[in-house]
Amino acid sequence: MLVVRPITMSDYDALHTCAVESGHGFTSLPVNEELLTNRITHSEYSFSKPKVTEPGDEGYLMVGFDSKSGEVAGCTGIEASIGWDVPFYSYHISTIVHSSPKLGVNNVVKLLTFGNNYTGCSEICTLFLRPSFRGGLNGRLMSKCRFLMMAEHPHRFSKTVFAEMRGVSDDEGNSPFWQWLQEHFFSIDFTMADYLTGIGKKGFIADLMPKLPIYINLLSKEAQEVIGQVHENTKPALRLLEKEGFTCRNYVDIFDGGPSVECDMRNIESVRHSFRAKVSIAQHSSSQDYLVSNTSFEHFRAVATKAAYDQASESVILSPEAAEALQVKQGDYVRMLAQ
């Protein structure tokens, strides 16, 4: 059984493995000991921070581990409110019209405008599941456990939730979008720019990025074609978020042109349709799959399991194994989402 819980410093080696396996373009998991250690430390601080009444600088990083072997299968995270301490940059795609009735000319063109439009929003991020664990409900659990957390503890998160999707790059980490920017404005390759951003050294962006809007039709054909497109490995994650109600509002990543998708937290499908139930612990024969989390924040746990839910009594029968994984006992409450 895969169990999601807050990361601890003892998970460093596993997180480093995830960083290596995630490959180029996965900005939030650079292969850097200092940054990974700082993320774990900050997450431990965030989960233990008392009396949080509104989203702030908290960053919640979690791991999924196999309950039998203890092996870490992947990671997932939420940034409660981004852009306050370190700027968060993106491009917005807008449309303008160049028109001259006298000449009979009417051209519709698109622009990329540099900005910080997601400042203060919550970001779901750092979702990575190792290849050997990509089966069953594991992917859904690693993604949707964050929405169970939001539904149970909404005051810790912002009204708008967004995700930055990985854009198109090749096996060597080359991005067609970045290659055009590099040629005209930068002197460093995509992997270095991506790495510097991942370790928090974003000053070069503000220094070198063009401040005025960029006409998309002036970019190379290769760069134009990947704007708003996702990496092949990211397509399943995008489809899952689209089913949750996330949509692209014409914001794209400044490095690889990948889309950002967003949704009002209250309208996320898994937030809307999750519910609480009182726990009974016993063996059962139910065939219904659920994602289930406990109601603790500091000691958050989530699993995918079969459970027997009774709507009339608003109670659920969990197996002893599931109850142990969730750290709940008879009479406690859990939050559930049918699959």
Please list the active-site residues.
231
Helix ranges (DSSP H) in 66-137: none
Q: Tell which residue, 219, 322, 244, 243, has the closest CA to residue 277.
A: 322
Amino acid 124 reads: I
User: Locate tokens 């289930």: which residue?
Assistant: 292
Helices (H), the chain: 12-22, 33-48, 138-152, 176-184, 190-198, 203-208, 221-226, 235-244, 269-273, 320-326
How far is it, in rounded angstroms, from Cα 33 to Cα 31? 7
C-alpha to C-alpha distances, 243 to 38, 236, 269, nearest whole angstrom: 33, 11, 8
Classify burial at 12, counting beta carbons within 10 Å of its beta carbon; exposed 0-12, middle 13-18, buried 19 or more: middle
CB 114 within 8 A of CB 210: yes
What is d(CA 131, CA 202) in angstroms, rounded to the nearest whole number? 31
- For residues 290 and 49, give the distance between their C-alpha atoms in angstroms, rounded to a whole number: 29
